[in-house]
Amino acid sequence: MQVVIHRPTDRDGEVTVEELDAVVIGAGVAGLYQLHLLRAQGLRVRAYDAAEDVGGSWWWHGYPGSHLDSEGPGYQYLFSEELYRDWGWSERYPAGYEVQRWLRFVTDRLDLRRDLRLGTRIVDLHLDEERGRWTVRTDRGETLDTRFVVACTGLLPERTIDLIGGGFAGPVLDTAHWPEGRYDLTGQRVGVLGSGAAAVQLVPTIVDQVSRLTVFATRPVDLLPRANPVFGWRERDAYRSRFAALRDTVVHTLTGDEERAPVLGDGTRSAWTGALGAPGDAGEAVRAAMRARLSDPGLADVLVPRGVFGVRPVRLDSGYLEVFGRDDVDLVDLAHTPIDRLVPEGIELSDGTVHALDVIVLTSTFDGGPDALTRVDVRGRGGQVLAEEWGREARSTLGLAKHGYPNLFTTAAPLTPPSDRCLMTTCRQVQVEWIAQAIADLRAAGVGTLEATAAGEDAWIAHHHEVAGTMPVASSSDYAGGIGLYRERCLREAAAGYPSFRRA
């Protein structure tokens, strides 16, 4: 049953406000599971997402070639063996469109659509301090009154390069805003800006469709060829039979995935996990294999990383390096000759060279920027603004809550294991389950709010700094302890009665 209340406005008339127990922001891996768990508690809960369908980051990053760098079986939810067994992957490392189909399968199997509002963006999230509740507004004019808010918003993508100056006559696309099947590049002269993970997947997929391809290279990534066999019934039965072992082990690992000794060159995720604690020669082995795939040593100077190995993950590719041996593909080293400006016919470099293009594609990292919740007007105690606070300093408690924002929970906040170092489904399942249990414990105790304390934040930040030196990380806001240690700390917090929080 829905409860609708009416509040007076500053103008004549009233505003209709719908009362809920919980609002979930996001309909990706975390948001869908959170909706399921909170609904199982009998709460009146609804999830919102700006996308046209479920899928979260996968829906937005639906560019050609989008792929998992993790094995499909390990990417699934592990809370239900029946749900796990009833889905079958078609290959070892599924394409992005298949991941989207899996999430749609989960949504329909769990009957989540009746409590989903898609194509709807949350714009305001303001705390009513007297009542300990949140007023939520959407871009469709809805106003909600809710006790709990769970932000499963993920991280904003980070562009490899920003274009400045001038004007281009053609379309400028972004891999982070590319719903599946939305654009056709056939017969076009295409310029791809960036040489990171998105470019690695996109370039070999479109090279045979376009008339000419120019890659403007920035920071290269470590690569291994993707060994991606097709899965038949035998392979599916094999991984399904290992459900219990997978469920009981991955949450104790560093990365939230099955960890094996690295076997470089087999195109498995073992290279990714091995890189986190790799011996000194592992990096040279990866990079020597990359150089061997390139026909020209000059290409290696642009496409093979230098410096410390293991700060960023090893990615898997399907012929990316070999593309640069083709006559219809150009490579521009932006470190040597940067972009000066856009011109109507294409891109002009600092030396005056103009590359004529019909389409420009900007590549973005999958989850490289700040928490997407900073795009929402979130105001807590005393009117403090969340985006401003996180802009000054990355602070949170367990990455799950922020001091001054009672009953607001987060899943991708600062100081949590980063998605490029922790299998996203494992990380998000740990966080979502903790949040659901915290809400259940709060309700069982007859308490209205749960709020991270300043002392709790300080303690988590101290622990974060303590473990920061154990692994190389790309960002100071990344938790380096891995999902196993992270989960242990979260469970310890709950078992001790939430000492880092204030209950009122």
DSSP state of 314: P
282 in a domain, yes or no? yes
Q: Are strands 122-128 and 377-379 parallel, antiparallel or unpaired?
A: parallel
Mean pLDDT estimate for the chain? 90
393 in a domain, yes or no? yes
Amino acid occupying residue 344? P
Q: Which two tokens stand for residue 237?
A: 């039965």
Residue 267 has pLDDT above 70, yes or no: no
Of residues 369 and 21, more confidently modeled: 21
Q: What pLDDT does 1 receive?
A: 44
The domain boundary, picked from 327, 344, 365, lies at 365
120 in a domain, yes or no? yes
Q: How far apart are CA 45 and CA 47, in angstroms?
A: 7
Q: What pLDDT does 470 receive?
A: 64
pLDDT band at 6 (very low <50, low <70, confident <90, very high): low
Q: Which two tokens stand for residue 476?
A: 């100071």
**144 in the same domain as 203:** no
Alpha helices in 315-423 (DSSP H): 386-392
Q: What pLDDT does 274 receive?
A: 44
Residue 130 has pLDDT above 80, yes or no: yes
Q: Are strands 339-343 and 329-333 parallel, antiparallel or unpaired?
A: unpaired
**181 in the same domain as 215:** yes
**127 in the same domain as 186:** no
The domain boundary, picked from 365, 393, 422, lies at 365
475 in a domain, yes or no? yes
Q: Which residues contact 491 (CB under 8 A, 6 or more apart)?
A: 434
Provide DSSP, 169-234: SS-EEEGGGB-TT----TT-EEEEE--SHHHHHHHHHHTTTSSEEEEEE-S---EEE---PBP-HH
Q: What is the dihedral of CA 221, 374, 149, 485, to 10 degrees?
A: 40
**227 in the same domain as 206:** yes
Give, in order, the Cα–Cα distances in Å from 194 to each of 144, 181, 221, 306, 377. Answer: 41, 22, 11, 17, 31
**For residues 260 and 273, is the Cβ–Cβ distance under 8 A?**
yes
**For residues 192 and 361, is the Cβ–Cβ distance under 8 A?**
yes
Q: What is the mean pLDDT of residues 175-195?
A: 96
Q: What is the mean pLDDT of residues 64-93?
A: 96
Residue 88 has pLDDT above 50, yes or no: yes
Q: Is 230 exposed, middle or buried (0-12, 13-18, 19+ CB in 10 A)?
A: exposed
User: Which among 278, 172, 162, 180 has a CA at the least distance from the CA of 224?
Assistant: 278
Q: How far apart are CA 83 and CA 87, in angstroms?
A: 7
**352 in the same domain as 268:** yes
Please count the structural domains in the chain.
Answer: 2
Q: Which two tokens stand for residue 159?
A: 């562009």
Q: What pLDDT does 310 receive?
A: 78
**336 in the same domain as 374:** no
Q: What pLDDT does 431 receive?
A: 97
User: Which among 13, 135, 31 has a CA at the least distance from the CA of 435?
Assistant: 31
Q: What pLDDT does 414 receive?
A: 86
**493 in the same domain as 385:** yes
pLDDT band at 317 (very low <50, low <70, confident <90, very high): very high
Q: pTM for the whole thing?
A: 0.93
Q: What pLDDT does 262 receive?
A: 44
Q: What pLDDT does 312 receive?
A: 81
Q: What is the mean pLDDT of residues 222-248?
A: 96
Q: How far apart are CA 258 and CA 166, in angstroms?
A: 48
Q: What pLDDT does 72 receive?
A: 95
Q: What pLDDT does 473 receive?
A: 61
Residue 8 has pLDDT above 60, yes or no: no
Range of the domain at 295: 159-244+259-365
Cα 49 to the center of its chain, rounded Å: 15
64 in a domain, yes or no? no
Q: How far apart are CA 221 and CA 286, in angstroms?
A: 11
In the chain, % of residues over pLDDT 90: 77
CATH number at residue 389: 3.50.50.60
Q: What is the mean pLDDT of residues 481-497?
A: 95
The number of beta carbons lying within 10 Å of the beta carbon of residue 382 is 8
**302 in the same domain as 199:** yes
Q: How far apart are CA 258 and CA 276, in angstroms?
A: 14
Of residues 260 and 414, more confidently modeled: 414
353 in a domain, yes or no? yes
**145 in the same domain as 42:** yes
**498 in the same domain as 433:** yes
80 in a domain, yes or no? no
Q: What pLDDT does 477 receive?
A: 80
Cα-only R_g, the chain? 24
Q: What is the pLDDT of residues 327-383, one digit of tens each?
A: 999 999 999 999 999 999 999 999 999 999 999 999 988 776 788 999 999 999 999
325 in a domain, yes or no? yes
Q: Which two tokens stand for residue 279?
A: 């011996």
Q: Is 172 exposed, middle or buried (0-12, 13-18, 19+ CB in 10 A)?
A: middle
The domain boundary, picked from 312, 343, 365, lies at 365
Q: What is the mean pLDDT of residues 307-323?
A: 91
**164 in the same domain as 150:** no
**404 in the same domain as 296:** no
Residue 52 has pLDDT above 70, yes or no: yes
Q: What pLDDT does 265 receive?
A: 44
Highest mean pLDDT among 8-17, 268-277, 375-384, 458-467: 375-384
